[in-house]
Amino acid sequence: MLSKLSEIRKQFETHLLEAKDSGELEELRVSLFGKNGTMKSVLKEMGALSVEEKKAIGAKVNELKDEISEKIAAKKEELQRMEMERQINAVPTIDLSIPSKDMQGSYHPITLVQRQCENVFKSMGFVVEDYSEIVSDYECFESLNIPKFHPARDMQDTYYLENGQLLKTQTSAAQNAIYRKYRDALINDGVPIKAIFPGRCFRNESTDACHENTFFQMEGIMVGENVSIANLIYFMKTMLSEVFRKDIKVRLRPGFFPFVEPGFELDISCLICGGEGCPSCKHSGWLELCPCGMIHPEVLKAGGIDPEKYTGFAFGLGMTRLAMMKYGVKDIRDLNSGNLESMCQFTDDI
């Protein structure tokens, strides 16, 4: 019996090396442990042994079963890893830099609106900046005149990360870095800071027709000598008329934001309902599009700029809502639906 167990082990080792895939490995397992397998026949033969022989041989049989099971499991993992590597290596290399011969697809409506806004502001001398979606508490709040425990923090349900950083709730989080980047040219050469920085923002909000927990904004700032509210109104009206390619009815009303003083809400007449009232504008006929105002002196100080000499304005343009208005999208959730059939209908010609 011991010699038979030795022969089983020897044959198993040979067949294990020869197994090339999971199918062959499974056949080997069944040949050993299946209903009519080799190990089953060994157990049947043990019926003719004495009690003492059964104990001794039984221990050897169990030892062999455990050894075979462990090696089959290890071989299975190895074959699965090899198969995955084969599949990965079989994927053809694609050079994404090669221009397509037959251009397919279209841009997302938010991308279209963002590019339109960028082109308008660049034509007026603004530079386009990019900024991280993960920022520090200082960038998103403290540098914007929102210290810890400030009531304004309750206005935004923030996604905080385990490392103490957070997903930016507003594109204003880039303001401090932009001031520091361009302040030398402002102070030494008298070149005004004129920048826009579009980006994705996050707030832990319940979703409805005009709110999402992921949305897109475009922050804009201008800092220099004698910059006034009149400059803000001019640039915003110019941008809206260029993007919508028609006159848009707007209103400016007081608003509170810790990083501007005075602060305003720039609303546009709802283009979905024509100002008559619908779910998108909460039946008011107006849609909040652009919180804005004159940059607070404390925010300029945090950026290393003297508020006694320089003034500036800032605005946070809602790109998601702007796309809704331009293309007549009634529900903000449609923009994140991933519905290609719906999204591909939008073009820059509308």
Q: Which residues are annotated as a binding site for Mg(2+)?
A: 261
d(CA 92, CA 98): 15
Give Cα separations from 187 to 62, 180, 296, 299 (angstroms). 84, 11, 18, 16
Between the alpha carbon of residue 222 and those of residues 116, 231, 290, the distances in Å are: 19, 9, 15
Are residues 303 and 172 in contact, defined by beta-carbon separation less than 8 angstroms?
Answer: no
Rounded CA-CA distance 199/132 in Å is: 8
- How many Cβ atoms sit within 10 Å of the Cβ of residue 272? 18
Eight-state DSSP code of residue 281: G
- How far apart are alpha carbons 55 and 65 in whole angstroms? 15
Residues belonging to the binding site are: 261
**CA atoms within a 13 Å half-sphere pointing along the CA-CB vector of 15:** 19
Select from 43, 136, 21 the least CA-distant residue to 87.
Answer: 21
Task: Please provide the distance, in angstroms rounded to a whole number, between the alpha carbons at the two ends of the chain.
Answer: 86
User: Among candidates 127, 116, 106, 107, which has minimal Cα distance to 322?
Assistant: 116
Angstrom distances, CA of residue 18 to CA of 146, 160, 211, 254: 69, 53, 60, 79
Contacts of 271 (CB under 8 A, 6+ apart): 244, 248, 325, 326, 328
Among 312, 316, 291, which residue's Cα sits nearest to residue 193? 312
In which element (H, E) is residue 6 found? helix 2-18
Residue 250: other Cβ atoms inside 10 A? 16
